């Protein structure tokens, strides 16, 4: 039985782009003590592969976290397949909003130490003692309360393109580094309502338990994250307090929640919120690029990367010694290297 993909990734991408099959992007997570993660991983792969599910899923002893592209016609069968696993029964699926279903091109289920890299000592607190879940209407009511502090638990490159009105958006690159920074920022707010949100809910699930353990009294988390909030806002015709785009970790790199564009092209500065990865595979920097700059720099982050991509066989040798923006700076840190004039943007 095949338990992993054996076809070239570029070919799989081509097939997905050419496909006319209607697909839906779904995310999910579940904290649960899995005794044999490897055995579960293999069983889960077989179950999903039969339904032509594509996606990226992490399995660990603490549970499962995944994002999937599913043939729309197979969604009910997918629900039935999940229900054959006891701890998945009744699990919430988060359905993407701005979606063509072409979010993944292969199925990859990977074993991890944790389903979320948090840097925490889980033995120090009980992750099940999480904050109070709130839906979109309850979130809006809390957000209007002057005694509420709204915290974005995502990274800077996510919040740059979209966030809730009035939210604190820490300048962090990983969830791991955000927890102590946010704790320090909120030391004088332990009696206020702490209202947290993230993309699909998983980061808040653990963060809310952490902050309760740290002494915060009134901890709330947006159930289902921004994805579920957007769906409820549409269905219930609620006020949308989210502005801009919701960054997502798949081929789309974002789904539009409101028409506002709050970010700028990292190369020319014009309003733009389209993330991309530098076309130079030796760089692969994540940054924001408008259509005009994409054409000017051949989808690259710099003149250097653009020229490097035009080289022949020398690329294989040079990429071992050349330093590109993606090897110097973290995700979305484009402004950092503009300041030291390390790029020739002429």
Indicate whether 146 and 215 sit together in one domain.
yes
Indicate whether 96 and 177 sit together in one domain.
no
Indicate whether 87 and 155 sit together in one domain.
no
Indicate whether 158 and 98 sit together in one domain.
no
Instruction: Report the pLDDT value the prediction gives residue 243, as an integer from 0 to 100.
Output: 98
Query: What end-to-end distance do the CA atoms of the chain give, in Å?
Result: 54
The per-residue pLDDT of the chain, averaged, comes to: 88
Kindly state the tokens that stand for 119. Answer: 């840097």
Task: Please check the confidence at residue 345 and state whether its pLDDT lies above 50.
Answer: no
User: 167 lies in a domain?
Assistant: yes
User: 327 lies in a domain?
Assistant: yes
User: 208 lies in a domain?
Assistant: yes
Tokens 């920074």 belong to residue: 181
Q: Model confidence over 17-45: pLDDT tens digits? A: 767 789 999 999 998 889 999 999 999 99
Q: Model confidence over 106-148: pLDDT tens digits? A: 899 999 988 887 777 666 667 777 889 999 999 999 999 999 9
Task: Point out the residues that are catalytic.
Answer: 198
User: 262 lies in a domain?
Assistant: no
Indicate whether 33 and 102 sit together in one domain.
yes
The model's confidence at residue 339, banded by pLDDT at 50, 70 and 90, is: very low
Kindly state the tokens that stand for 81. Answer: 């397949």
By percentage, how much of the chain surpasses pLDDT 90?
61
Task: Please check the confidence at residue 222 and state whether its pLDDT lies above 50.
Answer: yes
Indicate whether 94 and 127 sit together in one domain.
no
Spatial CA neighbour of 31 closest among 69, 59, 3 = 59
Instruction: Report the pLDDT value the prediction gives residue 316, as an integer from 0 to 100.
Output: 80
Between 328 and 65, the higher pLDDT residue:
65
User: 21 lies in a domain?
Assistant: yes
Task: Please check the confidence at residue 55 and state whether its pLDDT lies above 60.
Answer: yes
User: 197 lies in a domain?
Assistant: yes
Tokens 């999903």 belong to residue: 48
Other beta carbons within 10 angstroms of residue 156's beta carbon come to 18
Task: Please check the confidence at residue 58 and state whether its pLDDT lies above 50.
Answer: yes
By percentage, how much of the chain surpasses pLDDT 70?
90
Instruction: Report the pLDDT value the prediction gives residue 344, as an integer from 0 to 100.
Output: 39
Task: Please check the confidence at residue 292 and state whether its pLDDT lies above 70.
Answer: yes
Task: Please check the confidence at residue 342 and state whether its pLDDT lies above 70.
Answer: no
Task: Please check the confidence at residue 263 and state whether its pLDDT lies above 80.
Answer: yes
Q: In sequence order, what are the beta bridge partners of 60?
A: 63
User: 105 lies in a domain?
Assistant: yes
Spatial CA neighbour of 122 closest among 113, 109, 131 = 113
Chain centre distance of CA 198: 9
Indicate whether 153 and 188 sit together in one domain.
yes
Indicate whether 129 and 148 sit together in one domain.
yes
- Tell me how many domains the chain contains: 3
Decide which of 82, 111, 140 is a domain's last residue: 111
Indicate whether 131 and 154 sit together in one domain.
yes
Instruction: Please state the rounded mean pLDDT for residues 270-291.
Output: 94
The residue segments making up the domain with residue 312 are 275-338
CA-CA distance, 42 to 112, in Å (whole number)?
14
Instruction: Report the pLDDT value the prediction gives residue 101, as an integer from 0 to 100.
Output: 72
The model's confidence at residue 247, banded by pLDDT at 50, 70 and 90, is: very high
Decide which of 111, 145, 176 is a domain's last residue: 111
Instruction: Report the pLDDT value the prediction gives residue 122, as an integer from 0 to 100.
Output: 63
- The CATH number covering residue 99 comes to 3.30.70.100
Instruction: Report the pLDDT value the prediction gives residue 81, as an integer from 0 to 100.
Output: 96
Indicate whether 101 and 146 sit together in one domain.
no
* Residue 34: φ, ψ to 5°: -95, 120
Task: Please check the confidence at residue 5 and state whether its pLDDT lies above 80.
Answer: no
Torsion sign across C-alpha atoms 198, 200, 201, 206: negative
Instruction: Report the pLDDT value the prediction gives residue 7, as an integer from 0 to 100.
Output: 59
Task: Please check the confidence at residue 288 and state whether its pLDDT lies above 90.
Answer: yes
Indicate whether 82 and 162 sit together in one domain.
no
The model's confidence at residue 318, banded by pLDDT at 50, 70 and 90, is: confident
Indicate whether 180 and 209 sit together in one domain.
yes
User: 198 lies in a domain?
Assistant: yes
Instruction: Report the pLDDT value the prediction gives residue 6, as an integer from 0 to 100.
Output: 62
- The CATH number covering residue 179 comes to 3.40.250.10
With a CB cutoff of 8 Å and minimum separation 6, the contacts of 2 are 49
Between 330 and 146, the higher pLDDT residue:
146
Decide which of 55, 85, 111 is a domain's last residue: 111
Between 220 and 13, the higher pLDDT residue:
220
pTM: 0.80
């Amino acid at each position: 039985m095949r338990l992993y993909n054996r076809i070239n990734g570029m070919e799989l991408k081509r097939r997905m782009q050419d496909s006319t099959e209607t697909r839906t992007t779904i995310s999910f997570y579940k904290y649960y003590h899995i005794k044999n993660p490897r055995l579960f991983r293999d069983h889960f792969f077989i179950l999903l592969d039969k339904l032509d599910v594509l996606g990226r899923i992490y399995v660990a002893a603490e549970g499962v976290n995944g994002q999937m592209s599913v043939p729309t016609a197979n969604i009910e069968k997918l629900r039935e397949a999940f229900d054959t696993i006891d701890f998945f029964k009744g699990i919430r699926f988060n359905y993407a909003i701005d979606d063509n279903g072409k979010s993944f091109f292969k199925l990859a289920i990977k074993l991890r130490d944790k389903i979320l890299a948090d840097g925490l000592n889980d033995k120090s607190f009980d992750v099940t003692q999480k904050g109070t879940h709130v839906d979109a209407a309850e979130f809006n009511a809390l957000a209007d309360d002057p005694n509420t502090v709204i915290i974005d638990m995502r990274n800077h490159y996510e919040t740059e393109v979209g966030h809730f009105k009035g939210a604190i958006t820490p300048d962090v690159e990983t969830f791991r580094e955000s927890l102590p920074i946010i704790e320090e920022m909120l030391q004088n707010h332990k009696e206020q309502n702490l209202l947290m949100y993230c993309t699909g809910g998983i980061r808040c699930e653990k963060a809310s338990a952490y902050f309760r353990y740290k002494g915060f009294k009134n901890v709330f988390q947006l159930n289902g994250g921004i994805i579920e909030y957007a769906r409820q806002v549409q269905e219930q015709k609620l006020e949308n307090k989210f502005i801009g785009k919701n960054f997502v970790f798949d081929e789309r790199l974002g789904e539009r929640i409101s028409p506002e564009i709050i970010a700028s092209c990292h190369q020319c500065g014009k309003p733009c919120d389209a993330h991309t990865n530098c076309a130079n595979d030796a760089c692969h920097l994540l940054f924001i690029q408008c259509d005009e700059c994409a054409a000017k720099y051949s989808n690259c982050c710099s003149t250097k990367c653009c020229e490097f991509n035009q080289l022949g066989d020398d690329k294989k040798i040079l990429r071992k010694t050349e330093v590109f923006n993606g090897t110097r700076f973290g995700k979305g840190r484009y402004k950092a290297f503009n300041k030291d004039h390390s790029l020739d943007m002429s």
